[in-house]
Structure 1
Amino acid sequence: MELRILGCSGGIGTEMTTTSLLVDGDILIDGGTGLTELELDEMKAIRHIFVTHSHLDHIAGIPMLLDSVFDYIREPVVLHARAETLRALKDHIFNWQIWPDFSCLPSADAPVLRFEEMKPGERIQVGNRSIEMIAVNHAVPAAGYRVQNGVGSFAFSGDTTSNEGFWTALNRHDALDMLIVESAFPDEDRELSSKARHYCPGLLAADLKKLRHRPQLFLTHLKPGSEERIIDQCRDQIEFLDVQRLCGGDRFTL
């Protein structure tokens, strides 16, 4: 299983794009501005998009992606998300005001996009990959995902703060090779972090003690300008795991 990090920053700027993960070339997890890293042929190969939540930094690239591949799609791209996320996308993005409704273009019988509701705890099989949705605690209804094939597994928290469900769900499995988890703010912004329902190093360190696995740990969604401070604070408090910073362009084989 090949994992390519298209974008993972908490903001935009030179060499910074927002969250989007590509699995084996045909599965996207989130569709932020990191999608601009793909060539057209790579965009055409995407068949499934699993969205964590409706915030703009995680979905901004999806409308443009669909527009770019419109003439080449013979079967709809399937967008999987919680019911609340699908409703937000339909009401506020694919509503003909902000962007065309690709779920009925070029026709309702043969659309470019198909929405498919996914519930927390549900697993979907795509080829030899099993994708499990896990509810998390964020400012809007949100989810993380655990992805597994016959050889390896990784989990992505999406945007979240302190919770029990994500860690309980991961502990139900026998193994976890890689964990990508957010830590958006440094500890001095803990009050803001709690209001926005994001992790800061102290909150993340406390929650990681709930995990019985010892995976590779990569931090994502770091606020621009605070990256090194967040990483240093996490390393000071998470002594039982090797803390690494996730970067756009990273590639992993599981």
Structure 2
Amino acid sequence: MKLKVLGCSGGIGGAEGRTTAFLADDDILIDCGTGAGDLELEELAAVDHIFVTHSHMDHIAAIPLIVDAVGEMRGVPITVYAIPEVLRILRAHVFNWLIWPDFTAIPDRRRPFLRLQPLAVGEPVKLGTRVITPLPALHSVPAVAYCLDGGDGQLVYSGDTTYSPELIAAINACPRLHHLIIEAAFPDEQHGLALASRHMSPAMVAGLLNELTVNPRVYISHIKPGQRERVMAQIADAGGRLRAEVLHQGQVIEF
């Protein structure tokens, strides 16, 4: 598989200020923040599947706009996959005819532009030779991480999460893990804020990495604007067996 980073910032502003969205191959989006809006119209129309980690705006902002832009160009609906709690939030607060039209009923319920597909943690979704499995995560709203398996290797993307023994166990259970994308939203000076909002600080990232028995290449995402150098320096200072590097918008990871 090939994963292109469309956005990986914890906020907007500047040339690399695109929020979280990853394009897997040409037809799958993993989260759908503002970074997805940089795709050309034809590229958007080629997206068949959107896997959502959780319902926060920086991870779903482009979904309504994409469906509106390309719905009539496609012969089949775009499928949004998420755990049931997240789908309920999308139905109630986004596709509700008040914030945005309900595209699960447009042009009609037999031929909609959008389909919402519930997931269960630990149950894989097979898309040809590719397998995407929701993993447990712990955030301020219901959330999951994802393991992407292309057959030859695996990539785990944490989504938004705080320290989670369940997630650590799930990562360690990935036998062909080549890459790990983990969030670190706040520097250690804001450790209390990270705990309150159920995000990660550098010290928490270091603790998680020290408990891994697998050997992936580690990338740090979702850093709040203006904090990149501080967060990465603190992660480097923590040492440990696994070294981490900052994830960049536009980066392509193959596995």
Which TM-score applies when normalising by structure 2?
0.98
Equivalent residue, structure 1, for 2:47: 46
Q: Tell me the distance in 2 between the aligned counterparts of 1:228 and 1:13.
A: 16
Equivalent residue, structure 2, for 1:126: 127
- Secondary structure (helix, strand or coil) at the match of 1:67 reads helix
Equivalent residue, structure 2, for 1:156: 157
- Counterpart residue type for residue 7 of structure 1: G
Equivalent residue, structure 2, for 1:3: 3
Deviations 1:169-205 (A, max 9, x none): 1222322100000000000000011000000000111
Equivalent residue, structure 1, for 2:98: 97
Query: 2:44 touches 2:66 (CA, 8 Å); kept in 1?
Result: yes
Q: Tell me the distance in 1 between the aligned counterparts of 2:199 and 2:239.
A: 17
Segment drifting more, 162-171 vs 54-63: 162-171
Equivalent residue, structure 2, for 1:19: 20
Give 1:238 shift: 3.7
Q: Tell me the distance in 1 between the aligned counterparts of 2:22 and 2:137.
A: 18
Deviations 1:188-223 (A, max 9, x none): 000011000000000111112221111110000000
- Counterpart residue type for residue 173 of structure 1: C
Segment drifting more, 238-247 vs 183-192: 238-247
Equivalent residue, structure 1, for 2:213: 212
Equivalent residue, structure 1, for 2:145: 144
Give 1:247 shift: 1.1
* Cα root mean square deviation, aligned: 0.8
- Structure 1 gap ranges (5+): none
Deviations 1:222-252 (A, max 9, x none): 0001110000101111431221111111112
Deviations 1:132-153 (A, max 9, x none): 1012110000000000011121
Q: Which runs of 4+ in 1 moved over 4 A?
A: none
- Secondary structure (helix, strand or coil) at the match of 1:102 reads coil
- Secondary structure (helix, strand or coil) at the match of 2:245 reads strand
Query: 2:87 touches 2:116 (CA, 8 Å); kept in 1?
Result: yes
Give aligned pairs, total: 254
Q: Percent identity?
A: 43
Q: Tell me the distance in 1 between the aligned counterparts of 2:221 and 2:51.
A: 17
Q: Please say if 1:181 is aligned against 2:187.
A: no
Equivalent residue, structure 2, for 1:82: 83
Residues 1:238 and 1:214: Cα distance change in structure 2 (over 3 Å): farther
Query: 2:209 touches 2:242 (CA, 8 Å); kept in 1?
Result: no
Q: Tell me the distance in 2 between the aligned counterparts of 1:170 and 1:238.
A: 20
Q: Tell me the distance in 1 between the aligned counterparts of 2:236 and 2:18.
A: 24
Q: Tell me the distance in 2 between the aligned counterparts of 1:208 and 1:121.
A: 21
Q: Tell me the distance in 2 between the aligned counterparts of 1:162 and 1:253.
A: 27
- Counterpart residue type for residue 13 of structure 1: G
Deviations 1:73-132 (A, max 9, x none): 111111100111000000000000000001111110000110010011110001111001
Segment drifting more, 238-247 vs 103-112: 238-247
Give 1:59 shift: 0.1
- Structure 2 gap ranges (5+): none
Q: Tell me the distance in 2 between the aligned counterparts of 1:107 and 1:148.
A: 35
Q: Tell me the distance in 2 between the aligned counterparts of 1:83 and 1:220.
A: 25
